[in-house]
Amino acid sequence: MHSASRAQEHFAPGRHYVEISPRQPTKNPKQVEVLEFFAYSCSHCNAFEPALEAWVKKLPPEVLFRRIPVAFREDLMVHQQLYFALEALDLVKQLHGRVFRNIHADKQRLTTLAEIAAFAERTGGDGKWLVETMNSFEVAAKVKQATALVTGYKVEGTPSLGVDGRWLTSGSMAGSNARSLAVADHLITLASKAR
C-alpha cells in the first residue's frame, strides 16, 4: 500500500469478506452488531486479543460488540461454558484475558471442571460457583445459540468477525488478523448506511 489510507482501501466481497446467506439474527435491530468468533484454545485468538480490545474501545455507541466462543471439538465445549459463565457472573472484564494467559502462557489447558475451579480460586473467585454457573440452564441455552450462530455464519476458523448478520471476515480473508479489523470497519460503515 502506497500513500493510500485505510479509509480509501477497497475491500471486495468474496475476497476480503463473504456475504452470509441467509442473513443471521442480531440481538438489537437498531444497532450494528459485530461478533468475534473465538476459541480460548486458539493461539491466534490469544495474539489478536490486545488489538481487538483496543479496537472495541473505539467503537461508536450504535455498534454492539459480542464475543461468541466456538468449539470445533466436543472436548472444548467446556470453554464455551466457561466464557458464558464469566459473562453471567459479570467477570469477563476481570478474567477473559486471564483465561487466555492461563492456557497459552502458563500452559494450563483448563479442559476439566476441576482445572477451571482451581483457576477461579487462584484468581480470587469462587470455583464452585463458577462451575455451577457453567452447568446452568442459562449457560446451556447460550452455548446452543452460539453454536447456531457459528453454523449460520459458516465459521471455519478463529478468530473471525461477523458483522450485522450479513458478513464474515477473518485474518485469512483480510490478509492478517489486524487487517480484519479494517475490513470490519468497512462493513460497519456499509451496515450503517443501509439503515
> 67 pairs with which residues across the strands?
36
Q: What is the pLDDT of residue 4?
A: 41
Q: Say if residue 94 is in the same domain as residue 128.
A: yes
Q: What is the pLDDT of residue 194?
A: 85
Residue 93: inside a domain:
yes
Residue appearing with cell numbers 468468533: 37
Give residue 52's identity as a one-letter amino acid code.
L
Q: Say if residue 79 is in the same domain as residue 116.
A: yes
Q: What is the pLDDT of residue 9?
A: 75
Q: Please tell me the distance from the alpha carbon of residue 60 to that of residue 86, in angstroms, as a whole number.
A: 25
Kind and range of the H or E run holding 16: none
Residue 33: inside a domain:
yes
Residue appearing with cell numbers 485474518: 171
Residue 107: inside a domain:
yes
Q: What is the pLDDT of residue 8?
A: 53
Q: Say if residue 32 is in the same domain as residue 82.
A: no
Residue 143: inside a domain:
no
CA 7 to chain centroid, in Å, comes to 24
Residue 27: inside a domain:
yes
Could you read off the pLDDT of 110-143 as tens digits, one per residue? 999 999 999 999 999 999 999 999 999 999 999 9
Q: Say if residue 34 is in the same domain as residue 84.
A: no
Buried b (16+ CB within 10 A) or exposed e, 160-178: bbbbbbbbbbbbebbeebe
Count of structural domains, the chain:
2
Residue 186: inside a domain:
yes
Q: Please tell me the distance from the alpha carbon of residue 13 to that of residue 63, in angstroms, as a whole number.
A: 21
Give residue 173's identity as a one-letter amino acid code.
M
Residue 99: inside a domain:
yes
Q: Say if residue 121 is in the same domain as residue 163.
A: no
Residue 60: inside a domain:
no
- Tens place of pLDDT per residue across the chain (195 aa): 433 444 557 899 999 999 999 999 999 999 999 999 999 999 999 999 999 999 999 999 999 999 999 999 999 999 999 999 999 999 999 999 999 999 999 999 999 999 999 999 999 999 999 999 999 999 999 999 999 999 999 999 999 999 999 999 999 999 999 999 999 999 999 999 987
- Residues in Cβ contact with 30 at an 8 Å cutoff, skipping those fewer than 6 apart: 62
Q: Say if residue 29 is in the same domain as residue 79.
A: no
Q: Which domain holds residue 185?
A: 8-38+158-168+179-195
